[in-house]
Amino acid sequence: MGWFWADQSPATRPVPPPVAPHPLPRTDANPPPACPMHNKLPPSSSPPPPAPSQLTQPTNSASACPYKPSESSSSSPSTVDRLSKFNFMPENLSNTAAENQTVALALSREPSTIPRADGTLWQYPSPQQMYNALLRKGYTDTPAAHVTSMVSVHNFLNEGAWAEILEWERRFSSGLVEGWRRCQRGEDGSVAGAMIEADATAAGWDGAEPPRLVRFMGRPGDLTPKAQVQQWLAWAWPSQYKGELPFDRHDWFVRRVVPGAKGSGSGEEEGKEVRYVIDYYEGPPEPTGEPVFYLDVRPAVDGPTAACERLLRWGGDVWWRASGGVVREAKEREKLYKQRFAEQRS
């Protein structure tokens, strides 16, 4: 999903053509006598070679060693250097029509609601950029006419993933004690669906700076530990567990606000970086044919704090449902309604 994102103002850097580090000489040619790498052993009747201190540097004559280091090979950026450090994708995503492309795709990019580390918003790729990225990844059989819909799904899933991350941050950015208080109503207390359009105060940041997405990376070939355990359970108890594999995985690195961090400063001292793992699952389509996706978003267990957060949220939901919390709330609402109705009649 998000592995298609690019920077807002990518720097255009020319990529020099590859240069062979060691040009091969002709096989029918004899090595020049001055090249120490190709000289054959002298016959026994030849005088001994000079001492190392007497060796002279080869000149720039025709008899010198044919290998000359290329100046461009040392200064040309490697593949890793040409990738953005924020999303591990090429910084200069092409926004021009591909060769043999028959369908015109939009070139405009849509801003997301996800803030970057510098306060600006991440931008989604244009349909043309996504199509070029698919071709670069080897998906040459992708119809260009379907790319616009793919961009819409891509943007929708990333907005949903960010809303889930905001819910985790709303619960635990103020510490584990406050997090447990906000987990006591289980998932019925989640406000993830209202996170996208809510301001900082309504979202539960209490005037503090909301979290920001610092960087992310796609890891579709690496199963998360949770997905791997589910595979083992499906193998052991196929009637109880499904062996569905996620079709994608992301790691998002979020700068978390800390209690008491007020204002809009962006210094690293105001928060800490938290890694979130996201598993993307595809469910059965709707009767109307619309696709259905499920996201499993949670903080990575990089330390005891993240493990406690996951345990508290899971335990709070289990306790809420097992103790009849939904029924209790329904009875309390009914009681309150009767009281108000009685007050209006009196």
| 60-110 pLDDT, tens digit each | 444 444 444 445 444 555 544 444 554 445 556 678 888 888 889 999 999
On the question of pLDDT at 297 being above 90, the answer is yes
Nearest CA to 115 among 210, 212, 5, 199? 212
pLDDT range class, residue 164, cuts 50, 70, 90: very high
Contact by Cβ (8 Å): 256, 249: no
The pLDDT assigned to 166 comes to 92
Report the pLDDT averaged over residues 308-324.
94
Query: Could you tell me what percent of the chain has a pLDDT over 90?
Result: 36
pLDDT of residue 58: 47
Report residue 208 CA to chain centroid gap: 25
Instruction: Report CA dihedral (89, 90, 95, 101) to the nearest 10 degrees.
Output: -80
Q: Is the separation of the CB atoms in 266 and 128 below 8 Å? A: no
Under DSSP, is residue 280 helix (H, G, I), strand (E, B) or coil?
A: strand
Q: State the alpha helices, DSSP H only, in the chain.
A: 71-75, 127-137, 147-172, 176-183, 225-236, 304-322, 325-345
Higher pLDDT, 298 or 79: 298
The type of residue at 225 is: P
Distance CA 16, CA 73 (A): 9
Question: What average pLDDT is seen over the chain?
Answer: 76
pLDDT of residue 10: 43
3-state secondary structure of 255: strand
**pLDDT of 314 over the 50 cut:** yes
| 110 lies in some domain | yes
- What pLDDT does 53 receive? 45
Residue 341, in any domain of the structure: no
**Which residue, chain included where needed, has tokens 């949770």?**
226
Residue 208 has what pLDDT? 64
For residue 78, being part of any structural domain is answered with no
Q: Model confidence at 260, in pLDDT bands (50, 70, 90)?
A: low
Residue 1's pLDDT band, with cuts at 50, 70 and 90, is: low
What length does the chain have? Answer: 346
Tens of pLDDT, residues 203-257: 555 556 789 999 999 898 899 999 999 899 999 988 888 878 999 999 999 999 7
Angstrom distance (rounded) from CA 234 to CA 79 = 39
Residue 28 has pLDDT above 70, yes or no: no
For residue 279, pLDDT beyond 80: yes
Asked if residue 30 is part of any domain, the answer here is no
Domain of residue 184, residue span: 2-7+86-331
In tens, the pLDDT along 35-57 reads 544 444 455 555 555 554 444 44
- Is residue 262 in a domain? yes
pLDDT at 61: 47
Any domain includes 55: no
Enter the DSSP assignment of 27: T
Total domains in the chain come to 1
In a domain, 80, yes or no: no
Q: Average pLDDT, stretch 319-345?
A: 87
Please give the pLDDT value at position 96.
Answer: 85
Residue 241 falls within a domain, yes or no?
A: yes
- What is the pTM assigned to this prediction? 0.68
Higher pLDDT, 203 or 327: 327
Residue 190 pLDDT greater than 90, yes or no: no
For 104-152, what is each residue's pLDDT tens digit?
A: 999 999 999 999 988 899 999 999 999 998 888 888 888 899 999 999 9
Residue whose pair of structure tokens reads 């919390």 in the numeric block: 325
| The predicted structure's pLDDT at residue 241 | 84
